[in-house]
Structure 1
């Protein structure tokens, strides 16, 4: 079982994790919707596609663009469709 924590808050928990380039991608359904805020930020990966971001809000603080996902990943990254990964201090514990 893997968990994602930030600011003393459990934000995701699942035993169905996909690891790509050292990042744990959680199923979208495993993430607490209450902590996610849409962001207008995007970035492009040559082999995964266009990433979109969420800001995480927990315990009165925000972590801007600390979660990302690929709404329409390229075929080489199809295993991360419908999944979200974290960075910027979000701790993934397995």
Structure 2
């Protein structure tokens, strides 16, 4: 099956902008990511999502999973589980390694499920 990317438009807007301040991701009490280079992706009527540079995530806690999903606006997503001394959080974050051109800025970034980890957006 051939996939054709959909382009964000007035009916389904998507914006990617630098997040002012600092973003921290915590698994339980453990900080697993800390950055001042996060991006905020706003898509249609969904809540804003923080995308953290993969380089600012502790690589020791990440493990790639076999989970994958497809978004017609962003492309193919792959997932990471997070393992800390407190346990493993399955598919806690996702990334679009080859995100479509309309959202190319999120390549090399990881987004997080706020019901699985804590996403803190702190003032600059």
Scaled by the length of structure 2, the TM-score of the pair is 0.73
5+ residue gaps, structure 2: 1-21, 43-47
The answer to which structure has the higher strand fraction is 1
Match of 2:116 in 1: 89
Higher mean alpha-carbon deviation, 40-49 vs 51-60, is at: 51-60
1:6 Cα deviation (Å)?
Answer: 1.1
Within 2, Cα distance between the matches of 1:70 and 1:48? 7
Match of 1:7 in 2: 28
Would you say 1:75 and 2:101 are equivalent positions?
Answer: yes
Taking only aligned residues, the RMSD between alpha carbons, in angstroms, comes to: 0.9
1:7 Cα deviation (Å)?
Answer: 1.7
Within 1, Cα distance between the matches of 2:65 and 2:86? 18
Within 2, Cα distance between the matches of 1:49 and 1:89? 23
Match of 2:73 in 1: 47
Would you say 1:62 and 2:88 are equivalent positions?
Answer: yes
5+ residue gaps, structure 1: none
Q: Higher Cα Rg: structure 1 or 2?
A: 2
Count matched residues: 94
What SS does structure 1 have at the residue aligned with 2:98?
coil
Scaled by the length of structure 1, the TM-score of the pair is 0.95
Residue-by-residue CA offset, 1:50-93 (whole Å, 9 max, x unaligned): 00000111124111001100010001111101100111421111
Paired residue for 2:40, among 6, 15, 19? 19
